Structures are given as structure tokens and as C-alpha cells.
Amino acid sequence: MSLDADAGLLSPVSAAPSVAALTGDRAVLAAILDVEAGWAAVLEEAGLAPAGSSAVVAAAAEPGRYDVADIAVRAQGGANPVIPLLADLRRQVTALDTHGVGAAAAVHASLTSQDVLDTALMLVARNAVGAVLADLGRATAALADLSAAHSTTLCVGRSLTQHSLPYTFGLRAAQWFHGLAAAGRQLAGLGFPVQFGGAAGTLAAGSALTANSAATPFNLADSLAAHLGLAPAAAPWPTNRLPVTSLGNALAAVLDAAGKTAADVLFLSRPEVAEVAEPRAAGRGVSSAMPQKQNPVLSVLVRSAALQAPQPAAQLHLAAANFNDERPDGAWHAEWPALRQLLALALGAVGQLQELTGGLQVFPAAMRRNLDLAGPLLLAEGVAAAVAPLLADRDGLGGKQQLQAVVDRTLQVPAADQAAAYRRYLRETVPEDVLPDSRLAELLDPAGYLGESAGIAHRILAAYPDFAGTDRPHPDAIGAPRG
């Protein structure tokens, strides 16, 4: 790597060799060469290129033969990297064609630069998305395990930053799982279509090439898709960019869901909350100034990626809306870095996420401590629902209003005294003959006011078995829903 190469110094979430291998310049170069070699093979199979030519082109399409930095600079002459690379590829093919089979005739015949680059970027995206889905599957399987293990672990639910109702950590993990699995299913359902339209999207050159053959341009395009492992396209899509914007949407959705999970972990791992902690690793989470710190850097990096994702996703839509004429000007060019950034962010973030979820430390005692901070006031909604119908109207106030007055009085006393005050005011308002002590104890037990938490978690995991993994108990074994 040259001294001035971009190694990702300011993009730590995606600064990994595995990310560079799938989305870097050399990955794009290799994909372009794969398209050209694949096309030569398709032409030879159809009898439209000399016998033996595809082997020569394949040998010449070895990425190590090419100077990526030099091609990048020369790409300014034609506004895309395919043009200078083709000149180099043709030289390599000519040099390697020692038996004079005429292999150069198979290079790029009837194609245009957009055919090759769009198809190459679909190859890059397919490979990157495969890696994203693999890591995402590991992350969601870990969350499914956490949900099962903590189906009855009490914690506090929070609404608008405040304690709201009793909750379970199992449901929280299931909701993290839900967002990631739903986004992952959207990503997994994408197609990566081949592009084949020629200079103006009419297949004129392809028609001329196949004029005296049994093949058609459509046959050739389908054969290229099969050769590369891409989806066939019903028609050329040089200005219809749904394949690109759909990919951007799905990647952004994955990053949204990952960011939500990371944001929750960041809050829950604060020392004053301390309900979870990231997995430890040597050298991770260190501070340059404070030796005692253990920063939750996995979540920090995941969240950083989520916060960056909306801009490149929007850029893809902005470009798509400005694809003018039958082949566009700068709008097409504006897609490339945005798409690659999204792929790199997703790869980096989900790689960090699968490590985070796989080793997340959970502290039920701290969860119960935080749940108890609100005391019985946390059950005020459930108390009102059960007790209000039992209260006779008094001073023009219905039962619900009387119980709200109990809460209002309780909130006037210091926080440390509110638990005792609530019980006292409640008993003053609701005598024991109306609400026996045993029933009051039930109503003030947070484990008794979880609604359908177990059922919700069950339904979430059951809806996405492909993301839940198999090495864990079935939800029926850990608390099935009622009814």
C-alpha cells in the first residue's frame, strides 16, 4: 500500500481487511475483470468468439496484472474506470494470445462501460451482502438465545427517558432481534441483476453481433447472469435504478436496526445503570488519558455507522431521480461512492454487532435494582385498571380520578419516601374490605404486570426462524403466550 493510500484512518468501523477485500478498489477491479472474462466465455459458448479466446481473456483478467492507482488516475479521461482498464486488458490479451486465436475480438464486444460497471457493482454488492447476512445471522441467533435465557428476567421499561412499566430483558432482546431480522429478510430478498443494454440501452450492437446466430442479445444477457451468479434482468436498466436504491434501502435498514441496538447498549452500560456490559478483549475500550475506563467501543462503532448511513442512502435516491436521457451524466457517477460506502458501513457495523451480541454480559440484579427505584408507582396503571371499578363515586370523583389523586399526592413527597407514601395513600383511599392486602400485594408485584411480554417475544422469534438459529430451546419451552 502506498503511503498516500486511504486505509480508513478516520473510518474505524469499516477499517478492516475483510471489508477492504469485499468493497475496496481491488474488489471493484476484480469484479470488472470477472464481467469481461465472463462475457468472453458467453460469446465463445454461443459461437460468437473464436475457440480458445475465453481462456486467454480469463488469464489476462488476473487482477494482479493491473495497477489500480494508475487506472484510477486515467479514469478521469473517460469519467469511469472501465475505459482505461479495457485498454490494459486488451494489451494483456494480445500479449497472452501466443497461438493467435484472435482472443481480442471477445473483449467487450457489443458492451458499453455502464453494462460492465453496473454488473461489476452488482457482483461486489452480492459478495458484500452475503458477508453481511452471515454476520447478521450470528448476531440475531445470539439475541434469540438472550431472549430465551432472560424470558422472565425483570427490568424496567422506559418511555421518553422515564421509567414506564415493568418489562423483561427477554422482550428487549427480542425487539432488538425483531428489527435486525426484519431488515435482514429485506436484504436477503434482494436480486442482483446483470446489466446489458449497449450504448443507448437498445441492444443495437448486441443485435448486430447475433444477426447470423441462433443467439439473441437476451440469451447472451441471461447466460452472463448465470455465469456470474447474478439475477437475469427482464430488460436493460441504465436509467431505472431500483436495483441500486432497493439495495441502499435494505442496507440502511440493517444499519438503523443495528444502531438502535447499539444505542440501547450504550445507555444500559452506563455505570449508573450497569444492566449490561460489552464483552471484554485485550486493548479494547481503552482511553488515552484515563486508565480505569472501559469504553463500550463496539457499540460506539456500530452507532457511528448507523449515523452515517442516511446520507449515502439519500444520495442513491437523489442520483436515481436525476438520471436524465437514455444514459445519464454525473448522476450515475454519484452512485458509486455512496453505494460502496453503505456496503462498507454495513460490513463493518454488523461485524462489530455479532461480536457485541455474542458476548454481551447481562446483570439481572442491576436490572431489578433499577426496576425498584420507581417502587410501586410503576404499577399505578395496573392498580387503576383493577381498582377503579371497585371504588364508589366520592365527591363527584370517579375511581380513576381518585387513584390519580393518590399518585399526585405521592409525587409531592421526596423520591426516597414515595414507595411508602404511595402504599399509605392508596390504603387510605381504598379500604381493605374493598381491596384485601393479599390482592394489593399481587397488584404491586411487577412480575404480575408484564402483559403479553412472553407472547410478544414468542411471536417475534417464531416469525423469523431463519434468523433465530437452531441451537436453543423452542419458545414454547420458555414461556408460551396465553390463549
If you write DSSP's letter for every residue of 141-163 in order, what string do you get? HHHHHHHHHTTT-EEEEEETTEE
- The reported pLDDT for the residue numbered 293 is 67
- CA–CA separation, 48 vs 463, rounded Å? 49
Q: How far is CA 43 from CA 197, 237, 320, in A?
A: 16, 22, 31
pLDDT, residue 481, reads 31
Give the residue carrying C-alpha cell 469499516.
Answer: 14
pLDDT value of position 117? 98
Question: Where do we find the cell 486515467?
Answer: 74
Contacts of residue 157, defined as CB under 8 A and 6 or more positions apart, other chains included, come to 163, 164, 165, 166, 167
Give the pLDDT confidence score for residue 291 in this predicted structure: 60
Residue type, 336: W
Residue carrying the nine cell digits 485498454 = 87
285 sits in the region (left: phi over 0; alpha: psi -120 to 50; else beta) called left
Distances (CA, A) of 206 to 111, 210, 212, 232, 289: 8, 6, 11, 16, 64
**Which pLDDT value is given to residue 281?**
82
DSSP-assigned beta bridge partners for residue 159: 162
3-state secondary structure of 155: strand
Cα 341–chain centre separation: 13
Predicted pLDDT of residue 292:
63
Q: Could you tell me the three cell numbers for 334?
A: 454519484
Q: Give the pLDDT score at 301.
A: 97
Q: Which three cell numbers stand for residue 437?
A: 392486602
Where would I find the H helices in 269-329? 297-308, 310-320
In this structure, is the dihedral angle defined by the CA atoms of residues 346, 350, 351 and 352, taken in order, positive or negative?
A: positive
Q: Which three cell numbers stand for residue 221?
A: 444477457
Catalytic residue among 126, 172, 327, 472: 327
Q: Which residue has the cell 411480554?
A: 453
| Ramachandran region, residue 241 (left: φ > 0; alpha: ψ -120 to 50; beta: rest) | alpha
Cβ-based neighbours of 225, under 8 Å, separated by 6 or more? 193, 194, 231, 232, 233
Identify residue 13 by its one-letter amino acid code.
V
User: In this predicted structure, what is the pLDDT of residue 475?
Assistant: 38
Residue 351: alpha-carbon gap to chain centroid: 10
Per residue in 157-178, is it b (16+ CB within 10 Å) or e — as a string? Answer: beeeeebebbbbbbbbbbbbbb
**Contact indicator for 286, 293 with CB cutoff of 8 Å:** yes
Q: Is 287 one of the catalytic residues?
A: yes
Q: What angle do CA 299, 301, 305 make, to 5 degrees?
A: 115
Nearest Cα to 268, choosing from 180, 378, 129, 153? Answer: 153
Shortest CA distance to 345 belongs to which of 395, 303, 283?
303
Do 462 and 475 form a contact (C-beta atoms < 8 A)?
yes
In angstroms, the Cα distances linking 152 to 215, 245, 261, 264, 480 are: 64, 41, 20, 19, 12
Phi then psi dihedrals of residue 286, to 5 deg: -80, 160
Q: What single-letter amino acid sits at 226?
A: A
Rounded CA-CA distance 10/286 in Å is 18
- The pLDDT tens digits along the chain (483 residues) read 444 567 888 899 999 999 999 999 999 999 999 999 999 999 999 999 999 999 999 999 999 999 999 999 999 999 999 999 999 999 999 999 999 999 999 999 999 999 999 999 999 999 999 999 999 999 999 999 999 999 999 999 999 999 999 999 999 999 999 999 999 999 999 999 999 999 999 999 999 999 999 999 999 999 999 999 999 999 999 999 999 999 999 999 999 999 999 999 999 999 999 999 999 887 776 656 666 668 999 999 999 999 999 999 999 999 999 999 999 899 999 999 999 999 999 999 999 999 999 999 999 999 999 999 988 999 999 999 999 998 876 556 688 999 999 999 999 999 889 999 999 999 999 999 899 999 999 999 999 999 999 999 999 999 999 999 864 444 343 333 322
Distance CA 47, CA 94 (A): 20
**Residue 163 parent element (H or E):** strand 162-168
Q: Cell 387503576 belongs to which residue?
A: 384
Q: At how many degrees (to 10) do helices 310-320 and 330-359 cross?
A: 150
For residues 262 and 356, the answer to whether their CB atoms sit within 8 Å is yes
What cell does 297 get? Answer: 467501543
- Return the pLDDT at 472: 43
Asked whether 360 and 146 are in contact (CB, 8 A), the reply is yes
The C-alpha atoms of residue 321 and residue 310 are separated, in whole angstroms, by: 17
What are the backbone dihedrals phi and psi of residue 24, each rounded to the nearest 5 degrees, phi first? Answer: -75, 175
